[in-house]
Structure 1
Amino acid sequence: MAMVQSPKAATSSSPSLILTSGASGRIRALFSVQALKSLVMLINAFFLLLLIPFRGRRRTVVSAGVSARGSSSSSSSSSFCDQKSKDDRLLQEIGVHRTKLRVPATIVPWKSGGGSGVTAVVDSEVGGRRAIAIKRALQEDDPNTAREFSLFVSARGDTIFTQSWTSVSVKIRGLVVLMHGLNEHRYSDFAKKLNAKGFKVYGMDWIGHGGSDGLHGYVHSLDDAVDDLKSFLDKVLSENPGLPCFCFGHSTGAAIVLKAVMDPKVEARVSGVVFTSPAVGIQPSHPFAVLLAPVISFLLPTFQLSTSNKNGMPVSRDPEALVAKYSDPLVYTGFIRVKTGYEILRITAYLQQNLKRLRVPLLVLHGAADTVTDPDGSRKLYEEASSADKTIKLLEGFLHDLLFEPERDEIMADIIDWLNCRVVR
């Protein structure tokens, strides 16, 4: 596993993409008749083009790259199929046709399945996902870890699913709050490794993901996720006074954490941040996507852009990890929704202009072969962050999902070592 400690050692020949939110030219105040006619024709053509790249709602189970895996992964895939069968049976048991679940009116204490609540109407698809997420937390069979779930209602009225992992035998020395990436949520193994080193771990499924409210894979505003993270941090820190708190974010989750810790109130309470494959630099599928995204996301926010991943973006070199991901009913596997894609472009544009505002200790890891998020974005983050304590590791040949690459144990060990060095006890 090749690691580059300095961004200069692995400089890419291609420049990083910097997105801006403003127009780059001037617009004339008055138009001639000829110009107005041309403008009308252009608008008509534009709205016709809007209908071309979109399809209706579509969901895939396993990507083409996974379906082409060799026989070496056949034995492991059976276990994942068994998990999927259990989830399917669970859905039959609870009846996804039901439209009511018990949802708390306020934050529920950290205990498995307890707390008072009120009956609220919940979308059947959301209810099915939340039931699976809760069931998994309740059925945790690791004797070394206590896994609990909690729900809280955001200021917008959305119910957010959260959970925690606590070691039953190791003294707690610090806290780690995990933020998953787009269409992700699977960090239980990482949480247990952190438990073994004295870290209590919290995770939050942001809106439209896992067991939280919202259309699967749809994000109306990533600022909502940023606000939810701030509320969640308040809860975590109030329940664990005196313990150092670190935030971990992957991909879009890293962008959410990054924007949150730029808030001076959050910065003062966080001891450091760890990012894997942060969504600081994003390469759109087509140059016109940046120009058209605001309008298309307004007109067709939930539609799925089939051209966004038409070539199939690999995220891991481990076929077993890919089977696990695309067989999980809590993982959204459809094409990216238009509004979600625009929100990612929007938050990365903001971050590109505000990286100097990051002052907390920073560890960033990125695969040099990542085709989902741009490694040059991590280089820019490292170079411009005002953090006095910062480290970057560029991993040659690694793809996007670093914690699901074959060398995942080495990467987790690097993260834990970095955290250990910053816990003062």
Structure 2
Amino acid sequence: MTIKKLSVQNRELLYYDWIPERFDSIILAIQGLGACADRWTWMAEYLSAKGIAVIALELDGFGESPGMPGYVKNFDVWVNQLGLMHEHLKSVYPGKKIILLGESLGAMIVTRYLESADADKAVLLSPAFVEGKVFSLADKMKAGLGILFNPKLHITLPYKHRDFCNSAEGLNYLARSKRELTRVTAKLSLAMMLLQGALKKDIANIRTPVFALQAGKDRLVNNDATKNVIDRIPSLARYKRYEDAYHSLCIDANRETVFADIAEFSGT
């Protein structure tokens, strides 16, 4: 699978796409922290077979994006990328329904964008509105010092593959992938923390119908605190918790159940 390039307003966007011959809806997918856009392959193949197009945007700092891996200037860069691709898709596919979908960090980016923009629908997978206790005090001190003195200092993410999923296929994908990041810069860590704070402040502005999904065995996110944030979304249309699922719903063992729910919400 080859990544594609698109120039929008003098900004290069990288993406993968799965476009069926006939479709009425497009899902614009945004990945999580450290992930690359081809993690959406299973979901995209499932949905495109049901007549839903999928565009997976590669965020700056991740996957095949240019520049330093794990580095981004600020979270507005991500939100701007999403906005440019969303507006581009609306112009290229007039009349098609566009659903914004994000997992973990990607769900946060979608949420932030929707606080000042509208889409037809949105899907939030394992939104990382409130992190679990994954970073040690030493990690936080290193990140803090890095932000002050060396923003490009790399910090190892304190996650293991089994924290993401409990699927043999998913674990094999994570083990084989050469583009999934295990380290990010102090600057990117700051961008994520600031994004968490910013979106909680303005979440009541969202008007787009939202489907929020949580994993019952999430080791990366504080589920109860995150659910409290989800409940503040005034346009929340549907909520579901998958009790046996791990954080990365798109590659976990019950992923096809998740995909079927997404397809149903998308209107098929």
TM (norm. structure 1) is: 0.58
* Distance in 2 between residues matched to 1:213 and 1:273, nearest whole Å: 28
Q: Does 1:305 align with 2:151?
A: no
SS of alignment partner, residue 200 of structure 2? helix
- 1:173-218 CA-to-partner distances (Å, cap 9, x unmatched) read 1111111111212112211222122222212101011222221122
For the structure 1 residues 359 and 396, does the alpha-carbon distance in structure 2 shift closer, same or farther, using more than 3 Å as the test?
same
Alignment of 1:404-423 (within 5 A): 404-420=251-267
Match of 2:87 in 1: 234
Q: Does 1:243 align with 2:90?
A: no
Match of 1:28 in 2: none
* Distance in 2 between residues matched to 1:326 and 1:337, nearest whole Å: 22
Q: Does 1:339 align with 2:187?
A: yes
Q: Does 1:180 align with 2:28?
A: no
For the structure 1 residues 150 and 304, does the alpha-carbon distance in structure 2 shift closer, same or farther, using more than 3 Å as the test?
closer
* Distance in 1 between residues matched to 2:254 and 2:160, nearest whole Å: 25
* Distance in 1 between residues matched to 2:161 and 2:46, nearest whole Å: 31
Equivalent residue in structure 1 for 2:241, among 394, 398, 419? 394
* Distance in 1 between residues matched to 2:228 and 2:140, nearest whole Å: 20
Letter of the 1:327 counterpart: R
Q: Does 1:255 align with 2:108?
A: yes
Alignment of 1:31-46 (within 5 A): none
Equivalent residue in structure 1 for 2:76, among 207, 223, 248? 223
Q: How many pairs were matched up?
A: 265
Equivalent residue in structure 2 for 1:213, among 51, 63, 66? 66
The runs of 5 or more residues in structure 1 that have no matched partner are: 1-135, 138-147
- 1:291-315 CA-to-partner distances (Å, cap 9, x unmatched) read 8855532322222334x51777711
* Distance in 1 between residues matched to 2:260 and 2:176, nearest whole Å: 27
* Distance in 2 between residues matched to 1:282 and 1:226, nearest whole Å: 20
How far is the alpha carbon of 1:152 from its aligned partner? 2.6
Match of 1:278 in 2: 127
Match of 1:78 in 2: none
Match of 2:213 in 1: 365
* Distance in 1 between residues matched to 2:215 and 2:142, nearest whole Å: 29
Q: CA RMSD in A?
A: 2.4
Q: Does 1:328 align with 2:177?
A: yes
- 1:8-42 CA-to-partner distances (Å, cap 9, x unmatched) read xxxxxxxxxxxxxxxxxxxxxxxxxxxxxxxxxxx
For the structure 1 residues 377 and 199, does the alpha-carbon distance in structure 2 shift closer, same or farther, using more than 3 Å as the test?
farther
Letter of the 1:151 counterpart: L
Report percent identity of matched pairs. 21
SS of alignment partner, residue 279 of structure 1? coil
1 or 2, which has the higher strand percentage? 2
Match of 2:4 in 1: 149
For the structure 1 residues 297 and 273, does the alpha-carbon distance in structure 2 shift closer, same or farther, using more than 3 Å as the test?
same
- 1:87-123 CA-to-partner distances (Å, cap 9, x unmatched) read xxxxxxxxxxxxxxxxxxxxxxxxxxxxxxxxxxxxx
Equivalent residue in structure 2 for 1:379, among 227, 236, 239? 227
Letter of the 2:244 counterpart: G
How far is the alpha carbon of 1:283 from its aligned partner? 3.5
TM (norm. structure 2) is: 0.89
SS of alignment partner, residue 164 of structure 2? coil
SS of alignment partner, residue 176 of structure 1? strand
For the structure 1 residues 214 and 323, does the alpha-carbon distance in structure 2 shift closer, same or farther, using more than 3 Å as the test?
same
- 1:362-392 CA-to-partner distances (Å, cap 9, x unmatched) read 11111122121222244123311111x5211
Alignment of 1:351-362 (within 5 A): 351-362=199-210
Whether the 8 Å contact between 2:132 and 2:222 is mirrored in structure 1 is yes
For the structure 1 residues 226 and 310, does the alpha-carbon distance in structure 2 shift closer, same or farther, using more than 3 Å as the test?
closer
Q: Does 1:318 align with 2:167?
A: yes
- 1:321-369 CA-to-partner distances (Å, cap 9, x unmatched) read 122123211222x333222222111101112222212221111111122
- 1:220-261 CA-to-partner distances (Å, cap 9, x unmatched) read 212101011111111111000011111010010111111111
Letter of the 1:361 counterpart: P
